Structure 1
Amino acid sequence: MRNTTWIAILVCGVGAAFIGGLYVRQLADGSVRHAAERPREAPSHAAVGRDELISTLATQDFDRTISVMNRIKAMRYQGDILPLISEAWQLNLTNMPHVEREFVAHPRIRIEIADVLLQASRNGATGLEPSAYSSYARLNATSTDRDVAIHALLVLGVAGDAVDIPLLADILASENEATFRAAVHAFVQVCGVDDERVARIASRLRSRVLQDHLRQSWREAPELRSHLCK
């Protein structure tokens, strides 16, 4: 397996989500930007076909694979490639004989696959396993690998499941600056979160900076939540 440094949410598109027509992206400083329209696709976001995905996975290159996964997230039509990604999630590599199981099963790649499939499910794709993807993210939200933990938290934000409120609240309470902003981004998307809960958590934070970030993110959440909490 190629030994590369995999850094999440540092380049355009990483940590990006298209949920209910809303474009969401977490930036390198942990801040979140969202807008009602998807950005215009650049040439680097050209559609990914089955052959390119297979050949990229076969390289065992984290950076190249993550770049391809982000292009898939930006694709308006994913129907031709989703079955193959679903097979990769199931570790069924029959149609990918040159792809190593160890690479596809690595948390940095598997959380990417979960992200693609969960976003597709939220956007109407059928025959997928959204509960399995969110469960995997839940298990990795406290990973000692900072980048895996951050991406797992972003996936929990896509899931928006109220069952994750206690977990996210605990992560916020830990005031770990490495994951705090990703946890905030996920927390404010959960439909079971309300003003009282946000105020209670914010009041217990020791850091004024983190308090302000949580409160500001909540104030900016209504547009995002309007697409998620229907």
Structure 2
Amino acid sequence: MEKKMPRRFAVRILAVASLLVPAAIGATALAVDNAAAVTREELTAALNSKDIDGILMVTNAIKRMRHKDSILPVVQAVWRQDRRALPDVDWETASFPAVRVEMANILLQADRNGLLDADVAGIATYLRGRMADTSGHTLGQVILTLGLLDTAEDVPAIYAVAEQQDSPTFGAAVIALSRMCDPAADAALDALEGTVGDQGEVYFLGGVTPLGYIRDVRASFTNTRKYCSD
């Protein structure tokens, strides 16, 4: 029987991770057709290339795939660090936080969409541990992925990053909080608007103020958040 998605999670998952990937991605040993399904061989080749930008291209392509049944077991094996299942993978690269967080992101989205039962507790523990020892794009992706858990427990840590107003982590924190259903996330965004409200001349993130960015992102999630339960 098909797994039913709880109503509070019946929110279309947006491919916001691409907002944090540099526009000019470096050369990689693997070119991925955005319209095609990513195969085990392609994901393995990306991991073995040791090119993080190339790996991000592949994982973002997986997120865009309509039918993920064939690739999810491979993603699951990378997340679990299952060397027996994938003996041909470069496990040094596959163990990098940036890679494991990408795998966790794909699995949480799949779990929310009823495609599999992810190790949500294990993923949550891993992500919370990475909040303190990652930075830059990787921290941004940790925050975006942590937001998929949609729990009040994670709001203070996400808010603390947003308060620092460092791009791109500020952007990731605002997106994560804006798409969460938990009321604590709305309260955090209200508080954040007050914190940055007197800094209207600080421009970043594409030429908007921090306050303007918060309001734009919150507005962009208005329709999808209608599906949050009361």
TM interval, shorter chain, is 0.7 to 0.9
Cα deviation digits, residues 189-212 of structure 1 (max 9, x gap): 222236554333321235232223
Cα deviation digits, residues 56-83 of structure 1 (max 9, x gap): 3223222222212111111111112211
Letter aligned with residue 213 of structure 1:
Y
Query: How far did 1:227 drift?
Result: 4.1
- CA spacing shift, 1:197–1:52, aligned 2, 3 Å: closer
Letter aligned with residue 216 of structure 1:
D
- CA spacing shift, 1:155–1:228, aligned 2, 3 Å: farther
Aligned length: 201
Give yes or no for contact 1:189–1:228 (8 Å, CA) kept in 2: no
Query: How far did 1:123 drift?
Result: 0.9
The aligned counterpart of 1:45 is: 35
% identity of equivalent residues? 26
Q: Which whole-Å CA distance do the structure 1 matches of 2:165 and 2:125 have between them?
A: 23
Cα deviation digits, residues 133-152 of structure 1 (max 9, x gap): 23333333354430101111
Q: Which whole-Å CA distance do the structure 2 matches of 1:180 and 1:166 have between them?
A: 14
Structure-1-length-normalised TM-score: 0.75
Q: Which whole-Å CA distance do the structure 2 matches of 1:43 and 1:28 have between them?
A: 19
- 2:95 is the counterpart of 1:85: no
Match among 199, 212, 217 for residue 207 of structure 1: 199
Give yes or no for contact 1:111–1:151 (8 Å, CA) kept in 2: yes
Give yes or no for contact 1:134–1:155 (8 Å, CA) kept in 2: no
Q: Which runs of 5+ in 1 are unaligned?
A: 1-18, 31-41
Letter aligned with residue 225 of structure 1:
R
Letter aligned with residue 182 of structure 1:
A
Structure 1 window deviating more from structure 2 (109-118 vs 208-217): it is 208-217
Letter aligned with residue 226 of structure 1:
K
Letter aligned with residue 202 of structure 1:
E
Letter aligned with residue 221 of structure 1:
F
Determine helix, strand or coil for the equivalent of 1:44.
coil
Q: CA RMSD, aligned part only?
A: 2.7
Cα deviation digits, residues 203-222 of structure 1 (max 9, x gap): 12352322232233323332
- 2:148 is the counterpart of 1:158: yes
Q: Which whole-Å CA distance do the structure 1 matches of 2:34 and 2:212 have between them?
A: 36
Give the strand-richer structure, 1 or 2: 1
Letter aligned with residue 218 of structure 1:
R
Report 1:111-190 matches (<5 A): 111-190=101-180
Give yes or no for contact 1:187–1:193 (8 Å, CA) kept in 2: no
Match among 45, 63, 80 for residue 55 of structure 1: 45
Match among 56, 62, 75 for residue 65 of structure 2: 75
Give yes or no for contact 1:171–1:180 (8 Å, CA) kept in 2: yes
Q: Which whole-Å CA distance do the structure 2 matches of 1:84 and 1:54 have between them?
A: 9
